[in-house]
Amino acid sequence: MTQRERGVRGWAAARRAVLSGLRFTSLRLRLVVVFGLVALTAAVSASAIAYWLNREAVLTRTQDAVLRDFQQEMQNRAGSLPEQPGQAELQLTASQMAGNSSQRFTVLLVAENVQGRTVSGSSGGLSGFSLQDVPESLRTAVDKRQPVGDGNTAPYHLYWQRIVDDGTPYLVAGTRVIGGGATGYMLKSLEPEAKDLNSLAWSLGIATGLALIGSALLAQAAATTVLKPVQRLGVAARRLGEGRLDTRLRVSGTDELADLSRTFNKAAEALEKRVDDMAARDEASRRFVADMSHELRTPLTAITAVTEVLEEELDSESGGLDPMIEPAVRLVVSETRRLNDLVENLMEVTRFDAGTARLVLDDVDVADQITACIDARAWLDAVDLDAERGIHARLDPRRLDVILANLVGNALKHGGSPVRVSVRVEHTGGEEVVIRVRDHGPGIPKDVLPHVFDRFYKASASRPRSEGSGLGLSIALENAHIHGGEITAENSPEGGAVFTLRLPQDSTEVALADEEERPRENGTEK
């Protein structure tokens, strides 16, 4: 693997870790956000309602008091003026009206003098409150005469309006003296009330912020309380998935999470019992196969010796055997060999299952090793070898011989000649020796291809008995795995099946790792 590929893979792993972390905290974030939004909505709504109610109460109370005083002063003082007062009289009366009231408003009185001119007097002097400061709509409403009837007892009424001038709120009101006389206007600054309302708004805003912070803290605490059992459940599930079947959750409470923890514990307990039962049966089966294989070796050795004698008699020129029993003798010899191979394969399988298979490493020339394997089995005429000498590898020669014997033998038996064996060295994440065994037969059926390395698998259910034991390719695959390698099977586009064996050019690290792992496994089993 190149440095760039390692960097890309490292970045992808980091990205997956970050995304996993985000997924892990997303539920917590959602809970906190939901709590915060609910608290914010409630606090803002309550603050808005409180502000609006207080604002209306403050303004209404101030407004009612001012208007009541203004109306009283208009009746008492402006009503005593003559119908055509002078400017001095208006000025004096306006000052008396403003000074007599506790509401601190400014008064403007407007009337016609004896010459028919409009004159006015303000409590604030010439630079104070003037008629131009009164909104035209308010002046129109004040001057409009209302018809007197059952529902209206006076032709003129008191009208008021709130205005804002240079950022300061004011209350403006106006009315006329009934029966003729001056028209009065009042100007009241609402700045103190506005300041009080601003202080109230700031107080409510601070209260809303504190409520939001408090809700976030409460949400965090609630999320921790709710998610901690879920987190423990996730950790326990991962431990269970890693094979630690004794994992259990501590159960407390009677809520739904406690019920979930109890259900998990019951499922883990049932799974542990089921796995223990299966492991016990599997161990008993392996022990039975191993014991049977060992027990069969003693009588099989004696039978093999006898069959070797009978085979020598068959091959002798004297022809010492009766022609009538010769087929039977040949069948016994053939079946004895087959039984001997089956016992050896079974013993090899039990060593792999028990984890006692070991690598005995040696430096070998791969081409020489393949040639020796083919020559020992008299396959030189049927095999086309494409292997350069000088390709050295550190591996177990005996196990490589077993792999090659099974692959080449399988190609000769089920494929078609010639069988071609090629050897190459590839650099894919490390130095690898790649051995390909290709035949020129019909290939492997698609439904059979996924099962070619299964134990005791027969391609044809109608022929369960054949010369092979159904263990050869499985043993070859196990021998490849113990080297840290792999075997794959596929069909060539040009016809025939192709088995590809990949082995590390140096299996020392694999052997050392296996040796380091063994004491820990044995200690765990004890």
Residues 203 and 66 in one domain: yes
Q: Of the candidates 297, 316, 350, which is a domain's last residue?
A: 350
Residues 373 and 492 in one domain: yes
**Secondary structure (DSSP) of 73-126:** HHHHTGGGS-SS--HHHHHHHHHHHHHH-TT--EEEEEEE-TTS-EEEEETT-T
Domain range for residue 63? 1-76+193-240
Residues 313 and 462 in one domain: no
Min mean pLDDT across 273-277, 342-346, 377-381 is at: 342-346
CA dist 52 to 57, 123, 188, 353, 394, Å? 8, 34, 21, 81, 88
Q: What is the mean pLDDT of residues 306-318?
A: 71
Q: Of the candidates 283, 315, 350, which is a domain's last residue?
A: 350
C-alpha to C-alpha distance for 429 and 205, rounded to whole angstroms: 63
Residues 199 and 184 in one domain: no
Min mean pLDDT across 123-132, 238-247, 420-429, 488-497 is at: 123-132
- pLDDT of 261 over the 80 cut: yes
- 3-state DSSP assignment of residue 168: strand
Beta-strand (E) ranges in 105-260?
106-112, 118-122, 159-165, 168-176, 183-189
pTM: 0.46
Q: What is the pLDDT of residue 435?
A: 93
Work out whether strand 362-365 and strand 183-189 pair parallel, antiparallel, or are unpaired: unpaired
Let me know if 186 is exposed, middle or buried by CB neighbors in 10 A (0-12, 13-18, 19+).
buried
- pLDDT of 262 over the 80 cut: yes
- pLDDT of 419 over the 80 cut: yes
- Which of the pair, 222 or 54, is modelled with greater confidence? 54
| 456 token code pair | 């005791």
Helix 366-376 with 397-414: angle, nearest 10 deg: 50
Per the domain annotation, does 137 fall within a domain? yes
Per the domain annotation, does 245 fall within a domain? no
Please check whether residue 212 is in contact with residue 39, taking contact to mean a CB–CB distance below 8 angstroms: yes
Q: What is the pLDDT of residue 508?
A: 86
Residues 375 and 326 in one domain: no
Per the domain annotation, does 248 fall within a domain? no
Residues 288 and 230 in one domain: no
Q: What is the pLDDT of residue 423?
A: 92
**Secondary structure (DSSP) of 10-79:** HHHHHHHHHHHHHHHHHHHHHHHHHHHHHHHHHHHHHHHHHHHHHHHHHHHHHHHHHHHHHHHHHHHTGG
- Which of the pair, 462 or 503, is modelled with greater confidence? 503
Eight-state DSSP code of residue 172: E
C-alpha to C-alpha distance for 219 and 229, rounded to whole angstroms: 16
- Which of the pair, 471 or 85, is modelled with greater confidence? 85
Confidence at 499, pLDDT banded by 50, 70, 90: very high
User: If you average pLDDT over every residue of the chain, what do you get?
Assistant: 80
Q: How many CB atoms lie within 10 A of CB 250?
A: 9
**Whose CA is closest to 40, among 218, 226, 221, 225?**
218
| CATH number, position 134 | 3.30.450
- Which of the pair, 179 or 480, is modelled with greater confidence? 480
Residues 173 and 223 in one domain: no
**Whose CA is closest to 161, among 132, 195, 186?**
186
Per the domain annotation, does 246 fall within a domain? no
Per the domain annotation, does 279 fall within a domain? yes
Confidence at 463, pLDDT banded by 50, 70, 90: very low
- Which of the pair, 458 or 455, is modelled with greater confidence? 455
Q: What is the pLDDT of residue 462?
A: 39
Q: What is the pLDDT of residue 21?
A: 46
| CATH number, position 521 | 3.30.565.10
What domain count does the chain have? 4
Residues 465 and 367 in one domain: yes
Min mean pLDDT across 2-16, 31-45, 204-218, 356-370 is at: 2-16
Per-residue burial over 391-422, b if 16 or more Cβ lie within 10 Å, else e, is bbbbbbbebbbbbbbbbbbbbbebbeeebbbb
**Secondary structure (DSSP) of 391-423:** -EEEE-HHHHHHHHHHHHHHHHHHS-SPEEEEE
- pLDDT of 517 over the 80 cut: no
Q: What is the pLDDT of residue 289?
A: 67
Residues 335 and 273 in one domain: yes
Per the domain annotation, does 62 fall within a domain? yes
Work out whether strand 118-122 and strand 159-165 pair parallel, antiparallel, or are unpaired: unpaired
Per the domain annotation, does 207 fall within a domain? yes
Q: What is the mean pLDDT of residues 54-83?
A: 84
- Which of the pair, 524 or 198, is modelled with greater confidence? 198
- Which of the pair, 177 or 352, is modelled with greater confidence? 177
Please check whether residue 159 is in contact with residue 141, taking contact to mean a CB–CB distance below 8 angstroms: yes
**Whose CA is closest to 404, among 359, 357, 372?**
372
- Which of the pair, 118 or 21, is modelled with greater confidence? 118
- Which of the pair, 196 or 433, is modelled with greater confidence? 433
Residues 139 and 201 in one domain: no
Q: What is the pLDDT of residue 26?
A: 59
Q: What is the pLDDT of residue 40?
A: 79
**Whose CA is closest to 470, among 363, 372, 355, 349?**
349
Provide, rounded to the nearest whole percent, the portion of the chain with pLDDT above 70: 84
| CATH number, position 313 | 1.10.287
Reported as a single tens digit per residue, the pLDDT across 8-46 is 455 555 455 444 444 444 566 777 777 778 877 888 888
Reported as a single tens digit per residue, the pLDDT across 217-242 is 877 777 777 777 777 888 888 888 88
Per the domain annotation, does 490 fall within a domain? yes
Q: What is the mean pLDDT of residues 173-182?
A: 83
Residues 209 and 287 in one domain: no
Please check whether residue 208 is in contact with residue 48, taking contact to mean a CB–CB distance below 8 angstroms: no
- Which of the pair, 228 or 261, is modelled with greater confidence? 261
> End-to-end alpha-carbon separation of the chain, Å?
40
Dihedrals phi, psi of 183, to nearest 5 degrees: -105, 130
Residues 132 and 184 in one domain: yes
